[in-house]
Structure 1
C-alpha cells in the first residue's frame, strides 16, 4: 500500500459495490466534473487569416468545439503519490510515519469530499498495470494519461481556446477539432487551478463519439480496498467478499484516524 506507483480512486459504498461486482470502473464526461473550469462554458474564438470567412460560415463551430470536448472526453480520476518536498523534521514526524503523508489513500479531505464523508471506499490500483489495461482496452489514438499540473493563472488555457481559421477552412470542422485536441490536450485535461493541488490527481482520458459510456476492467490492476472510518461495519463482510472475488490477491483494510493520524488495520 505504500508504493509510489499506487493511484487511488475514492467513491461511495454503493458505487464501490457496483465496481467490484462488475469488475469494471466507469469513466465520466469532463462536463460532469466538480471543477467549474472544466464543466462550464469555454468561450472559443478564431485567430489567424480567414477570420471573416470563419465568422460568416463556421460561427457554430465555436460552440461545437466547446460541447464536443466537454461531452465526448471521458475522464477517470485518481489520487496519486505526493512527491512534493515535505519538511518532516520541523513537524516532528518520525520516519516510520512519513509515507502516510505521501500515499493517496490517507487524505482526510479526499475522504470527506469524494469518499462520502468517510463512509465510502478507496480503491487502490497499480498505475502501470492500469495503464496497460487502458491501452489494450481502448484502441483509439485519442487517449491520454498523466498527472494533472496545477497553476495559479491558467494562461495557456486562454491560448488553447483560439482556433486557427486555416485548419477549419482547409480541413473542415471535425478534423480541425481533432487537431485542436492533439495540440492542447494538456491544457484541456491536465491543467487545473492551484486550489486543487493537494489532490495530486492522475487521469486517464479517452475521446469517444457522441458521449458513449465506457468502462475499464480492473481485475489485473486492483491492489487494495480500503473502507473509511465511518463505513458501516455490518457491510465489512460483503465488501471483503466482493474484493476477493474481483482479485483474490487484493488487500483489504479499514482506515482509522487517531488524533488526526491515519492508521491501516485489517478489514476482518
Structure 2
C-alpha cells in the first residue's frame, strides 16, 4: 500500500475530524448566518439584490478554502520529520506531484464541507442555481491552490513547528474574517477595508460570488487564477530546492 493511500485511509479513520468538517459549516450557518439574516435583510452586490443567507454562505465557503491549509501543513510536516519527503523525492516524484499528494486530505476536507453547503442550500431553499453552485465549488478548488501553496512555503521556510503553528493560528482567523465573508466591504470601517484590500481571500471571494450570482467578470477570475498559478510556481520551485533531511524543531 502506498504512503498516499495510507494517509487517505487515516483521514477517513479520524472520525472526530470528519464530524468537525461536517459540523463546522452547520454551526456557522445556523447560529451566525440565520441569526443575522433577518436583521440584515437583502444586500446589494454589484447592483443585484441578493439574500444575506446566500451572500454569507459563499463567505463560509471561502473560509473553508483557507482553513484546509492547516491540514496540508500537518501532512507535510509529518512527511519531512519521518523521512517520507526524502523517500518520495529520491524515488523521482516531481515536486508538483508531491504537492498534489499531500493536498489530497485538504481536497477531501473541502469536498466534504462542500457537500454540507449543498445540503444547506437545499434545506434553506437558497437562491443558488445548481450549475452556479457547482462552478463555485470548482472555483474554490482553484482558489485553494493558492493557500495550499502558501502552506507549502510556510512548511519549507519555517523549521520550527511551534513557530509555524503559532503563525498559522494568527493567520487563518484574521484572514478569514477580514475578508468580506459576513459583511459588505463598502459598509465596513476604514481600517477593515484596508485589511480586506490586502487580503487575497477578498478577491477570491469576489470571484466566487460573481459566479454564484451569474456575474461573469473575467478580470476577477483572471486575478484569482494568477494568484494560484504564481504561488504554485513558487511552491514547486522551493520544494525542488528543499533539503531532503529535515531540520524540524519542536
Q: TM-score, normalised by structure 2?
A: 0.27
Specify which structure has the higher proportion of helix.
2
User: Which structure's CA Rg is the greater one?
Assistant: 1
Specify which structure has the higher proportion of strand.
1
